[in-house]
Amino acid sequence: MAKDVEGAEHGEFAAKDYHDPPPTPLFDADELTKWSFYRAVIAEFIATLLFLYITVLTVIGYKSQSATDQCGGVGILGIAWAFGGMIFVLVYCTAGISGGHINPAVTFGLFLARKVSLLRAVLYIVAQSLGAICGVGLVKAFQKTLYDEYGGGANTLAPGYSKGTGLAAEIIGTFVLVYTVFSATDPKRNARDSHVPVLAPLPIGFAVFMVHLATIPITGTGINPARSFGAAVIYNQDKAWDDHWMFWLGPFIGAAIAAFYHQFVLRAGAIKALGSFRSNA
């Protein structure tokens, strides 16, 4: 059985049965001359718009139904399925175009891992944020009365929880998501476990689903700054802005930890860099 060997034996590196793409340049001006770059930005905008439209509409529908019937509506389980299912669908649709980020925290984590350039990361985050605003705007346009009455799908810290607990929930939840993204798209995993077909959008969607089950009672589950930002902008009430900082800070911290853990611990990036330095010395 062939085994990939990442370390050096007797000064020679064994051949690998997978290929790690080279680190993306921090700033690649050539991207601005390519239609594929703008197409990817548009895909992120549309995907995030659709994501917020479906999920926030689900949240509003559940709250309006449960207000008159405690057993009515899809429940927390249904809301979690809506978020996880839409991520599965949209990542599947856009992965070949933009990478299917649909989340500034995912983009930030991939940027730290040198998988996207700074320019692409910034424009993706802008497109995702604008798409989220437009998606929630459509919900309000179609269901204005219910939207205003039931909180607009905005993320808020639930009563009884401290800000520290809310921040920790966002950090851990985003870590789970971004760690799953790295693992599902790892070229080494695809080569090593080629006998086990992995449809990357599936575990990513399930990660979103599971995190929502755990953290909806705490923060309503952000783990996506664009999702929280779009809902806060359209709802635009003090309640939506009071703790809004944690829905940016938490996901970015969680994404950074996931990127470090995957790249430098699981993939031994620091050891590889040190070995390369010694071999060149």
Whether pLDDT at 15 is above 50? no
pLDDT of residue 7: 45
Question: Exposed, middle or buried, 171 (CB in 10 Å: 0-12/13-18/19+)?
Answer: buried
pLDDT bracket for residue 105 (50, 70, 90) = very high
In the structure, what pLDDT confidence band is assigned to residue 192 with cuts at 50, 70 and 90? Answer: low
Domain-wise residue ranges, the chain: 29-265
Question: For 232-255, how does the pLDDT look when each residue is reduced to its tens digit (9 = 90+)?
Answer: 999 999 989 999 999 999 999 999
Residue 271 confidence class, pLDDT cut points 50, 70, 90 = low
How many whole angstroms separate alpha carbon 162 and alpha carbon 95?
Answer: 37
The three-class DSSP label of residue 238 is: helix
Q: Residue 3 pLDDT > 60, yes or no?
A: no
DSSP 266: I
pLDDT in tens, 158-181: 999 999 999 999 999 999 999 999
138-151 pLDDT per residue, tens: 999 999 999 999 99
29-265: CATH, from 3.10.20.30, 1.20.1080.10, 1.10.287.3510, 3.40.50.620: 1.20.1080.10
Q: Is the pLDDT of residue 197 over 60?
A: no
Q: How confident is the model at residue 27 (pLDDT cuts 50, 70, 90)?
A: confident
Predicted TM-score (pTM) of this structure? 0.86
Spell out the residues 6+ positions from residue 133 whose beta carbon is closer than 8 angstroms to its own. Answer: 229, 230, 233, 234
Least confident of 83-87, 122-126, 184-188, 215-219: 184-188
CB 124 within 8 A of CB 218: no
